[in-house]
Amino acid sequence: MADTIANILSIAGSDPSGGAGIQADLKTFAARGTYGMAVLTALTAQNTQGVSGLHLVPPAFVAAQIADVFADVRVGAVKIGMIASGEIAEAVANALSPHRSVPVVLDPVMIAKGGASLLAGDAVEALTRRLLPLSALLTPNLPEAAALLGEAEAGDRAAMESQAKRLLALGPKAVLLKGGHLPGNESPDVLAMPGGLRWFEGVRVLTRNTHGTGCTLSSAVAAELGKGQSLPDAVAAAKSFVAGAVRGSGALAVGAGHGPLHHFHALWA
């Protein structure tokens, strides 16, 4: 089966404007040469300027979607995005527990680009207790890391390293702490693994088209893991892909707010 295309599953919320959530995940899976599948946890009413509404899928139905996919399809990797509630976090954890050999990339989506909360307070505890131990990789940004740890946001590389190590102690096999919120022209990420730390450097691109950046990065890592890449190589490939998608975003004209990335920048003339 090694010569077949990898099947990657996203468990996340929907963005009707197409820039983030399930829509960004499926575009990313396709752009990275994998077959994408999607389990919906929530519907949002949103566009590039913000989120105006949220409708949660019943937890039992989220679990049923996951169970049906695994009952029929060979899943190479799983990406978890928007969970929204503690009950959904529990349902996802229960549904994935029988499949621990499949790598899980957990993107702890908490706040939308426009500032709307996308994770209930009780969900942070459930996500930490149930989903972190199932994860091959946790991919928080600086505000999300601070919320998971219950402390102030990291403001420099030393604080990022400290927080990444403490997040690793919560149970995931590895943590990629994203430094896009740091001031300055750099956008560095630090990967914490049991064997140590590794930095991935990046240059900040001056653009408003950053909607769905976190969703896209975590999905790209999941796609690469599903194709058999090592974790450091998967992170490097994903970060390069996202950088290209951000640089190419000017070719799109979507909305008046934070525009989406160009997921197919390398494929479309």
Q: Are 227 and 33 in contact (CB under 8 A)?
A: yes
Distance from the Cα of residue 166 to its chain's centroid: 20
Active site residue 212: yes
Active site residue 248: no
Q: How far apart are the first and last CA of the chain?
A: 32
Active site residue 150: no
Active-site option among 21, 214, 226, 259: 214
Active-site option among 210, 216, 248, 259: 210
Active-site option among 202, 213, 216, 227: 213
- Which stretches within 35-186 are classed as H helix? 59-72, 86-96, 121-126, 142-149, 157-168
- Type of residue numbered 152: A
Torsion region of 65: left, alpha or beta (phi above 0 gives left; psi -120 to 50 gives alpha): alpha
Active site residue 28: no
Cβ atoms within 10 Å of 109's Cβ, excluding its own: 27
Active site residue 215: yes
Using the 8-state DSSP alphabet, how is residue 12 labeled? E
Spell out the residues 6+ positions from residue 101 whose beta carbon is closer than 8 angstroms to its own. Answer: none
What distance in Å separates the CA atoms of residue 77 and residue 147, rounded to the nearest whole number?
26
What distance in Å separates the CA atoms of residue 242 and residue 231, rounded to the nearest whole number?
16
Active site residue 210: yes
What distance in Å separates the CA atoms of residue 241 and residue 177, rounded to the nearest whole number?
17
Active-site option among 212, 226, 248, 259: 212
Q: Which residues are catalytic?
A: 178, 210, 212-215
